[in-house]
Amino acid sequence: MSATILTEDLAVRFARIALGHVTREYPNKPDHVLAGPEDARTPRELHPVFFGSYDWHSCVHSYWMLARLLRRYPSSEAADDIRALFDAQFVAEKIAAECSYLAAPTARGFKRPYGWGWLLKLAAELALLENTNWRERMAPLAEIFAQRFRDFLPLATYPVRVGTHFNTAFGLRMAADYAAVTQDDAFGALLRDTALRWYGADQDCPAWGEPSGDDFQSSALIEAECMRRLLAPGDFLPWFDRFLPRLELREPATLFRPATVTDRTDGKLTHLDGLNLSRAWCWRSLAGTLPAADARRPILQDAARRHLNAGLPHIAGDYMGEHWLASFAVLAIDAEG
């Protein structure tokens, strides 16, 4: 089967899904600490930019997807709607309110590291668009999250290897794109040095805990993708050989089997659709790093296709998946970097 590509029709389909929920305030699952009765506020009051899409982080990465689709197809039938949304939402006073929220002591760990990485990924994408107003207005918020990485990483003795929002390899991987676009070499070095400290000695990964029942990331594959992004090819490939040494045998076998979803109205169970899509992204990126003659390359490409085919039909339907899955589909289909 040929690889799925991001056509204009598919981009419009994904854009319409996100445009339908990024400003949908309810239902909403806030990640919010109440220090007093004055903190009991609506999602829109707390987060005037990212109040939709069921939760803050899903709203952020849905905006990232819209920015990516706008860059890829600036004349599509959804493009003007995306521009109008950005003009309405990416304004100084709303961004300032998002920044103000983060100043509260109770927000120190807000969305760490998943939301941190996605916000920086959004800022990196905005920097690639022709309209400079959006990226300039987003810059203060992005810098807060970049600084949170700078402050937190030296304190983090251990990585977090789960398959959910707390996975630290995912945070580093997404932040790397921001460091590259902003040409912040010191930040990039911090990300790389942290990845080496956490993961550099890992070898013969068994992937024995995959998948857990609510994973939407592969702890093994996102670690490999993190190292691929942060290391030079000459350093990455020997590490990758040690980390997953039996890929030619399609082992660990669990990484090659798409996950089964039994109830897409259950928000945790539908995470497994996201696992299939995020695995497809990682497999595709890792395959692209291997030399053309490498026997593992077609094996990884086939794994990417099978996981994408398992997840792509289910990005819309029930809101538990619809509010976030399209972003991971775009990662899997149109990954860069």
Q: Tens of pLDDT along 152-179?
A: 999 999 999 999 999 999 999 999 999 9
What pLDDT does residue 154 have? 98
Query: Does some domain include residue 293?
Result: yes
By C-alpha distance, which of 302, 271, 288 is closest to 335? 288
Query: Does some domain include residue 266?
Result: yes
Give residue 205's domain range. 8-33+41-333
Inter-residue contact 58 to 71 (CB < 8 Å): no
Residues 164, 177, 140, 11: what is their CA dihedral angle, to the nearest 10 degrees?
-80
Instruction: Please state, for a pLDDT cut of 70, what percent of the chain lies above it.
Output: 99
User: How many CA atoms lie less than 13 Å away from 280 in the CB half-sphere?
Assistant: 29
Query: Does some domain include residue 104?
Result: yes
Asked if omega into 154 is within 30° of 0 (cis), the reply is: no
CA 62, CA 142: separation in Å to the nearest integer? Answer: 16
Task: Give, for all 337 residues of the chain, the pLDDT tens digit.
Answer: 356 899 999 999 999 999 999 999 999 999 999 999 999 999 999 999 999 999 999 999 999 999 999 999 999 999 999 999 999 999 999 999 999 999 999 999 999 999 999 999 999 999 999 999 999 999 999 999 999 999 999 999 999 999 999 999 999 999 999 999 999 999 999 999 999 999 999 999 999 999 999 999 999 999 999 999 999 999 999 999 999 999 999 999 999 999 999 999 999 999 999 999 999 999 999 999 999 999 999 999 999 999 999 999 999 999 999 999 999 999 999 977 6
For 323-336, letters b (16+ CB in 10 Å) and e give: bbbbbbbbbbbbee
What pLDDT does residue 3 have? 62
Residue 223, classified by CB atoms within 10 Å of its CB into exposed (0-12), middle (13-18) or buried (19+), is: buried
The token pair at 249 is 């045998």
Angle at 163 between CA 196 and CA 280, to 5 degrees: 90
Inter-residue contact 224 to 286 (CB < 8 Å): yes
Angle at which helices 8-19 and 56-72 pack, to 10 degrees?
Answer: 150
Amino acid at residue number 277: L
What pLDDT does residue 335 have? 74
Specify the residue for token string 């987060």: 47
Q: Tens of pLDDT along 212-235?
A: 999 999 999 999 999 999 999 999
CA 201, CA 171: separation in Å to the nearest integer? Answer: 19
Inter-residue contact 115 to 56 (CB < 8 Å): yes
Query: Does some domain include residue 164?
Result: yes
Query: Does some domain include residue 125?
Result: yes
Residues 126, 131, 135, 137: what is their CA dihedral angle, to the nearest 10 degrees?
-140
Inter-residue contact 63 to 47 (CB < 8 Å): no
What pLDDT does residue 183 have? 98
Its pTM surpasses 0.95: yes
Query: Does some domain include residue 3?
Result: no
Total domain count for the chain? 1
Query: Does some domain include residue 1?
Result: no
Say which CATH number the domain at 56 has: 1.50.10
Query: Does some domain include residue 173?
Result: yes
What pLDDT does residue 1 have? 37
Residue 76, classified by CB atoms within 10 Å of its CB into exposed (0-12), middle (13-18) or buried (19+), is: middle
What pLDDT does residue 337 have? 61
Amino acid at residue number 55: D
